[in-house]
Chain A
Amino acid sequence: MVSTLLPLGLALPLLGAVTIGLGGLWLPSLREQRQLLGGIATLLVGITFSLFLFTFLGYEKPLYFAFTWDWFALEPLRVPLRYQVDSLSLWMALIITGIGTLIHLYSIGYMGSDEGAWRYFALLNLFIFSMLTLVLADSLPLLFLGWEGVGACSYFLIGFWFAEEGNAKAAQKAFIMNRIGDVGLLAAMIILYAETGTFDIDRLKSFSYAGDTAYVVGILLFFAATGKSAQIPLYTWLPDAMAGPTPVSALIHAATMVTAGIYLLARMDFLYNSAPEALYIVAGIGVATALLGAAIALAQHDIKRILAYSTVSQLGFMFASIGAGAYTLAIFHVFTHAFFKALLFLGAGSVIHTVDTQDIREMGGLRAKMPITGVTFWVGVLAIAGLPPLAGFFSKDEILAATYTRGQAGETLYYIFWGILMGVAFLTAFYMGRMAWLTFEGTYRGRVSIHESPMVMTIPLLLLGIGSVGAGFVGLPSILGGSWLREKWLSRSVQDMALPHLSHETEIFLIIASTMIAIIGLLAAWYLYGKRGIEGDKLLSARLAGIYAWLASQAKVDLLYERIFVQSYYVIADLAKDIVGSWVGRLLPNTVVKGIQGLSDLFSRLHVGYVPLYVAYMIGAGLLFVLWMVLT
């Protein structure tokens, strides 16, 4: 029954985007009805969520639905609008629409007084639609449509307040960085099509791939994922993406956009299973990104920037998990991360909404004035720090265990990865603790009067808080009964690499180790920032000296890219200007012009202006023609 309504699930967010967008465009009086428009947008996504929820409850086998017309057909290539609802895409759709609904609801409060709310809600709905297209697509071109749609929507929303130049530039940066990654996806699609002659994901699965092809395509897909999911080298757009409204950041970081890369790699699991070497690179980049993101977050003062770098770092964890061959585990971390990262961003938005600054040095002691935001934010912090039994603990512990398992299976490299990730887990607990203590504890350092946010904003916070506590229980470690999500649900459509089982002792050791590291990190944060407040930063920067300044300037990566790519582009452009300008632009046309001028000078001398002479030319030419005819 529900399956017949599934196309509606896809169509409703699009319907919302079109009606709200066009309605706002053509009926300016409608723009004033911000609460109404927000309510409609929220309701549509909510209905979509419940549709997917009912599908989930009655799920037996993968469902397919298609619209009767094709997207395009260039025989023999035909791309139908066909969608696939299997356990992976359904789970992603639940995350997207579930978290998305809460963010929509929160936005009614957050954007309630903004002039462009109609534009905002239309784009938010379009974002959800694009992301659903991406995860439900049954073929690669359709997935690519969603992929690009997500990129476009993020561009619009990051640059939502485009009147300020910085925001517009951040939007362009996000767009361009994503375009660079898209080259990888396009190239991978072309190679796959050349190899197999189909774009259909199910059919692609049935082919067996030569190691080289799988390796190249795997690397290209991963490159695409580094763009969308903010990994080294293309992650720099994500910290800037906070230029958009805060709920948009929550949407980008939690439910949509950055999860696309993880989803893509999990969807193409069969390729990585045929080319395990590609996974070393995925794991290496993931671990490096996790470390870099966490280290940079340590030295930032902008609350949203800290959260952005923590997302970069957590995405690194997910790729490390994929790199260990545990694709379902990465999806599990996407799931838990969606709750606490949405919670943290919305909590930060609630703070920014009232404090009117993003600088944590001007906050402090906020929990007393805004208890719901404060408490839920703390829940999010403890969850991402990995304190049991909150959601983040289970997924992070499993990721650490998975890399450790690979190490035990004889690949020493993964022991190193495990060690670094343990360090990153410590840093995560530390910088998250720093942010929470500086924001919500101690004494208030700002000047503006503060108050708790309205219900429409706190209710999503409470719901996400509950999720951040409970979401981890769908994926218990095997010692506590095994992961339902991974073994019973996602395994129906995603094939993890076979890993040996850990002994119980090792597993307990790993659980204790990752718990300890989280607690130590939080204690260190308390020691520096809980006791000393903002003075802790001075202590830390004195201790870390040059490294701290380097981290505070975001590792100078933007500068590096500026030097390497932008400058060299200018050099090449200058060179081209010289060469093309002097040779092609001047010398070549000048020669041609001169030659033609000389010729016409010559011929114009034949024109003496005496008509009988022209007749003589004519007769002479005629005679020559006749002569030529006779001779040949």
Chain B
Amino acid sequence: MSIEILYSVLALAGALFSMGILGLLLRRNLLLAFLSIELLINAANLNFLSFSRYHNEPTGAVFVLFGICLAAVEAVVGLGLIVRVFRVQQDLGFAKLSSLRW
């Protein structure tokens, strides 16, 4: 893998990460925020993979396997929470989600 390809893949990962962050900050919907978190995880995974290929080092690839596992688990818990929140307040907006505040 040449350095140019590395750059472009890293740029892609950076773009994904920025989209995730912006989604998290600006979206007013829990489900979309959750999607943004998935984007963040995958941006990080892409980073790991590209460096792994560039250095011919399998550790990064193994790390990605754990990252995917983590994302799956997180999806189970997160989606469960989201379903629960929707049941309680019939709405997925952040605005009303403040009953845990001090």
Mark A residues whose CB is within 8 Å of B. Answer: 604, 607-612, 615-616, 619
Contacts and interface: CB of A to CB of B under 8 A. Distances in A.
A615 B25 contact: yes
Interface residues of B, number: 15
B95 interface: yes
B94 interface: yes
Contacts of A607: 101-102
Contacts of B94: 610-612
Contacts of A611: 33, 94, 97
A598 to B, nearest CB: 15
Given A609-B97, A611-B94, A615-B33, 18 more contacts: A604-B102, A607-B102, A608-B98, A609-B99, A609-B100, A609-B101, A610-B98, A611-B33, A611-B97, A612-B24, A612-B25, A612-B26, A612-B27, A612-B28, A612-B33, A615-B21, A615-B24, A619-B25
Nearest to A601: B102
A441 B10 CA distance: 120
B75 to A, nearest CB: 18
The 4 closest A-B pairs by CB, nearest first: A609-B98, A609-B101, A604-B102, A615-B24
B95 A610 contact: yes
A612 B28 CA distance: 8
A291 to B, nearest CB: 80
A617 to B, nearest CB: 11
Nearest to A605: B102
23 contacts: A607-B101, A607-B102, A608-B101, A609-B97, A609-B98, A609-B99, A609-B100, A609-B101, A610-B94, A610-B95, A611-B33, A611-B94, A611-B97, A612-B24, A612-B25, A612-B26, A612-B28, A612-B94, A615-B21, A615-B24, A615-B25, A615-B33, A616-B25
Interface string B13-28: 0000000010011111
Interface of B: 21, 24-28, 33, 94-95, 97-102
A369 to B, nearest CB: 92
Given A608-B101, A610-B94, A610-B98, A619 B33 contact: no
Contacts of A619: 21, 25
Contacts of B21: 615, 619
Nearest to B30: A611
Nearest to B99: A609
A619 B21 CA distance: 8
Nearest to A616: B25
Contacts of B95: 610
A616 B101 CA distance: 17
B84 to A, nearest CB: 15
A511 to B, nearest CB: 98
Contacts of A608: 98, 101
B96 to A, nearest CB: 10
A608 B27 CA distance: 17
Contacts of B97: 609, 611
Contacts of A615: 21, 24-25, 33
Choose among A607, A608, A612, A619 the residue with the greatest number of B CB atoms under 10 Å from its CB.
Answer: A612
A146 B28 CA distance: 83
Nearest to B97: A611
Contacts of B100: 609
Contacts of A612: 24-28, 33, 94
Nearest to A619: B21
Contacts of B25: 612, 615-616, 619
Contacts of A604: 102
Nearest to A618: B24
Nearest to B28: A612
Nearest to B102: A604
B33 to A, nearest CB: 7
Contacts of A616: 25
Interface centre among A604, A607, A615 (most CB of B within 10 A): A615
B28 to A, nearest CB: 8
Nearest to A612: B25
A607 B100 CA distance: 9
Contacts of B98: 608-610
A610 B96 CA distance: 9
Contacts of B27: 612
Nearest to A608: B101
A613 to B, nearest CB: 9
B34 to A, nearest CB: 11
A1 B18 CA distance: 99
Contacts of B26: 612
A22 B33 CA distance: 76
B12 to A, nearest CB: 20
A607 B101 CA distance: 6
Contacts of B101: 607-609
Nearest to B26: A612
- Max chain A Cβ within 10 angstroms of own Cβ: one of B26, B94, B102: B102
B43 to A, nearest CB: 14
Nearest to B95: A610
A612 B34 CA distance: 12
A619 B25 CA distance: 10
Nearest to B24: A615
B73 to A, nearest CB: 20
A219 B6 CA distance: 88
A615 B25 CA distance: 7
Most central of A604, A608, A609, A610 by chain B CB within 10 Å: A609
A607 B94 CA distance: 14
Contacts of A610: 94-95, 98
A482 B43 CA distance: 110
Contacts of B102: 604, 607
Nearest to B98: A609
A608 B95 CA distance: 11
Nearest to A600: B102
A610 to B, nearest CB: 6
A533 to B, nearest CB: 92
Contacts of B99: 609
A547 B82 CA distance: 96
